[in-house]
Amino acid sequence: MCPMDPDRKAELFAAALPIFNRFGYRKTTIEEICREAGLSKRTFYEEFDDKKDFFGRLVLHMATAFTLEWQEAVRDETSAAVQIERYIDQYITSCQATPIFAVIFENDESMQAVDEAFNDDSCKPMFAALGAAIAMGSASGEFRPVHAVKLTLIIGMMMDSLFCILPQLFKNSRIDADEAFVRELKAFVINGLLARPSEG
């Protein structure tokens, strides 16, 4: 059994996105996904175990694409603080443009799907990218000495909590559209990282 061509897989993910966004995890069916993508169910099952496996890998695909877009946008940026600010902006823009991230928290199965897809190996490139920006800031003296890996986890969990989980708990919460909130969030993160002149 041959793995699915990466371009074909990307097309399948693109076809599935609006279906999950419209119907949510529970009501979306493999039949609808295959019909929209012009793919047979047999071909689908040659690549994916079931809807849960597909959904987890779809979310991982989107998160990886977000990371690559951010890396490309900051490739020539020498300020670690600006890179982190742009990471926050890119994260928020991705959440706004791709409501699939909110679907993650629809039920236990959708959360488990993402938990299984986001294992140590699959997350390494994403964590490494943000960690590299933090480590660069520490090495240059722009940031205080920090544990880049732990800080990467803290920033990632904070962003997930604020822009994915919180909107599910408070349906009318649109903090992603609140410019003052986003500005203060970025200042909070960056000021926590910046090196301070030594006292004395």
pLDDT tens sequence across 83-141: 999 999 999 998 888 878 878 888 899 999 999 998 878 888 888 999 999 999 999 99
- For residues 60 and 46, what is the distance between their CA atoms, to the nearest angstrom? 19
Structure tokens at 106: 């629809």
* Residue 200 clears pLDDT 50, i.e. is over it: no
- Nearest alpha-carbon partner for 161 in 172, 175, 148: 175
pLDDT at residue 171 tops 70: no
Q: What whole-number percentage of the chain has pLDDT above 70? A: 96
Supply φ then ψ for residue 194, to 5 degrees: -60, 145
Unique residue bearing structure tokens 């609140």: 178
pTM of the model: 0.86
The whole-number pLDDT of residue 133 equals 95
Position 189 pLDDT exceeds 70? yes
3-state helix, strand, coil in the chain (%, to 5): 75, 0, 20
Confidence of residue 199 (pLDDT cuts 50, 70, 90): very low
The C-alpha atoms of residue 131 and residue 184 are separated, in whole angstroms, by 22
Give the whole-angstrom CA distance, residue 100 versus residue 14: 11
pLDDT in tens, 51-77: 999 999 999 999 999 999 999 999 999
